[in-house]
Amino acid sequence: MKTTDSRDSLDRTIDDLLASCPVQPSDNFAARVLAAADELPAEKCRSSPAGQLLRFALPIAALIAVAFTLVRFTLTKPTAVADLTLSAADAQEIFLLEEGLVGLTQLNDDSLSAAHLLSTLDALTFEIES
């Protein structure tokens, strides 16, 4: 649908002329246009060599990636489950660290400000390690 631009004088002149003399197509106009369209050669889909290569290369690359993924999953054997028991030294270290951290939760004392918490944690860690 054509919209008329009211600011364009040429557009208004053309619209006035078309309104005063309506144009009627000839009797066989549609048949001639359809026959001419049928005579046109069909446009062939021309693909470049790169397009042909991509048409086959992308699925092949996807298959290779899936194959490598599946091979990796099938070849990896589950590792032996690590021994979940703790040694006495590990248990003692955990208990000492827990006791040291429990003391940090009570900050009512003004001598231990938030600025010195990191150094306190470092001192506790050093005490446990030594």
Q: Report pLDDT digits (tens) over 36-69.
A: 998 888 777 667 777 777 788 888 888 898 888 8
CB 60 within 8 A of CB 91: no
pLDDT at 80 over 60: no
Residue 29 CA: distances (Å) to CA of 6, 20, 26, 41, 92: 32, 22, 5, 21, 100
Token pair of 2 as six digits: 């054509």
How does residue 31 score in pLDDT terms, banded at 50, 70 and 90? very high
- Taking alpha carbons only, the member of 55, 63, 119 closest to residue 127 is 119
What pLDDT sits at residue 27? 87
Residues 5-30 as b or e (16 or more Cβ within 10 Å = b): eeeeeeeeeeeeeeeeeeeeeeeeee
